[in-house]
Amino acid sequence: MKRNKFALAGLGVIGVGALALTGCGPAEEEGGNEAAAGPEFGIAYNADGGHQAWVDAVANSISGTLGINAVGVPYPDFAGLREEVTNREIDSAFRTGWQADYPGLYNFLGPLYATNAGSNDGDYSSEEFDSLIEQGISTTDPAEANEFYKQAQEVLLQDLPAIPLWYQNSVAGWSENVENVAINWKSVPAYEEITKSTDGPVTVNGSEPQNPLIPTNTNETGGGNVLDALFTGLVNYETETGAVQNDVAESIDQDSPTHLTIKIREGLEFSNGEEITADNFIKAWNYGAALDNAQLSSYFFEDIEGFSWDENVEELSGLNQIDDYTFEVTLNKPAADFAQRLGYSAYYPLPDVAFEDMEAFGENPIGNGPYKMAEDGWQHDIQIDLVKNDAYDGPRPQENDALRFVFYATFDAAYSDLLANNLDVLDTLPDSAFETYEDELGDRSVNQASALFQSFTIGEYQEHFGADEEGQLRRQAISMAINREEITDVIFQGTRTPASDFTSPVIDGWTDELEGEEVLEYNPEKAVELWEQANEISPWE
């Protein structure tokens, strides 16, 4: 959702109860946590996101295996946690997750682990990893690229800049009032496909957007899901597989890893009647990239020639308009998957009216997607109402006339409304329903794989976890001290799958045959051995 590493925030994707497991490794057999010594190993999480149970379970598994004091460290809200992570003020490990921006392996790897990458919150740096990622993104042969990504992941499995935990399924349900509900490859309902047998809008769960609805400044699911209904890009992604299909684009020719020519379809309009031209994309991208505008998704433009993190650039030299419907993109480094990225919201076009007052525009955005804002559509902290956009002409035809995002404080409250048929679609069922939802909803529910990944990160700036032999040994020991299988079975009851890599099984090119993947398996004896080796280098004290 995404939509960056911390997109799974607020009421994000995980809602679990108060269950916690106790590790049962060698250390616990000799006295467990009572014998814990040395500094505390904390895992920070936002308490408003439903993460406490799994964090406590992971911490207990680590404590029980290694005999150290591992604990969850709650922050009241996502904003507070994010601020300390961004400023490198956090003094513990911290929970991280990733909802794919677009269906490519690079999206799970480059933005999170390449040196100085925008979402590299652990400050990981590896010349070997960087070289392999660069080779992968530079080749236009998918098989060759995937081999480079495989090798890059094998480097990550040695260094463990983040500790992979599990792949997250999409577990959703719907009321008796609707049909044709499909949950897409990244765990979001295909809203425009839903049909309703009763009067009124299709009602779906949502959360108050953190910012005005500007495509380049929205990177969380609450605002992102609304934007994706209001706008559409040069391409979009097929619901089930994520396959790329043209939308606004008539053609996208990437004749080299650093140059694209994009031609848009003529006659398309925004919902206010303004024609969509190449200039609407160029101006929107320039706005998103400009340093002075401080847009959250500005890093999506860093591959375009002229982009700068050091000075304000109002017009990217890599964007060149050929005519009203054609423009060229020149990249400053190879990015063979750039065309695949162009369905992500950061690349949406903006009408001219947006640049008159961007903040006001964000309160009542005018888009080019299947829906448009209803009159007085955004009732803050309550709901957002959208209606069908008759100007939309693309591969996402609307099967309903209106859509309402209802903001809930908890998934439990939303589920109660779902059971009473007062809510039509709930994209994340609460943990309290895991044992009963199949009986209560029957065939009005899904439990399917999606492009969601959960982990926690240990910054290389943390004591004992630097880019050295001690840090590597401790990371590997902690990873092997976690009983992922038991946690996913007991807490998540079949709605998560233990991770064997850093990406997602729903992405083309995924493989579970990586050298070194045993570091993600529960092995308490080996974990203790590695931890003791690290103590010989520098005692845990």
pLDDT at 20: 34
Pairing of strands 93-99, 40-46: parallel
What DSSP assignment string belongs to 396-439? ---SSSEEEEEE-S-HHHHHHHHHTTS-SEESS--GGGTTTHHH
pLDDT at 241: 86
Determine the straight-line distance between the first and last CA of the chain, rounded to whole angstroms. Answer: 39
What residues contact 43, with CB distance under 8 A and at least 6 apart? 55, 58, 59, 70, 71, 72, 73, 92, 93, 94, 95, 456
Q: Please give the C-alpha separations between residue 355 and each of 88, 359, 365, in angstroms, as whole numbers.
A: 34, 9, 12
CA 332 to chain centre: 25
Distance CA 310, CA 290 (A): 10
Q: In one letter, which amino acid is 372?
A: K
pLDDT at 10: 33
Divide the 541 residues of the chain into consecutive groups of 10 and give the mean pLDDT of each group: 36 31 43 61 88 94 97 89 90 92 93 90 96 93 94 98 95 98 94 97 94 93 95 95 94 92 98 98 98 94 96 98 98 92 97 97 98 97 97 96 95 96 96 92 94 94 95 98 96 92 94 96 98 97 89
User: What angle do the packed helices 142-159 and 469-480 form, to 10 degrees?
Assistant: 100
pLDDT at 431: 83
| Residue 275, phi-psi category: left (phi > 0), alpha (psi -120 to 50), beta (remainder) | beta
Q: Identify the three-state secondary structure at position 244.
A: strand
pLDDT at 210: 87
Q: How many C-beta atoms lie closer than 10 Å to residue 130's C-beta?
A: 18
pLDDT at 18: 29
Q: Identify the three-state secondary structure at position 534.
A: helix
pLDDT at 313: 98
pTM, rounded to two decimals: 0.82
Detail the DSSP E strand segments found in 115-197: 162-174, 178-179, 195-196
Contact by Cβ (8 Å): 231, 304 = no
Distance CA 500, CA 513 (A): 9
Sketch out the chain's domains with CATH numbers.
26-168+451-537 (3.10.105), 190-426 (3.40.190.10)
Distance CA 519, CA 153 (A): 12
Tokens of 232: 């559409």
Give the helix/strand (H/E) hosting 322.
strand 319-323
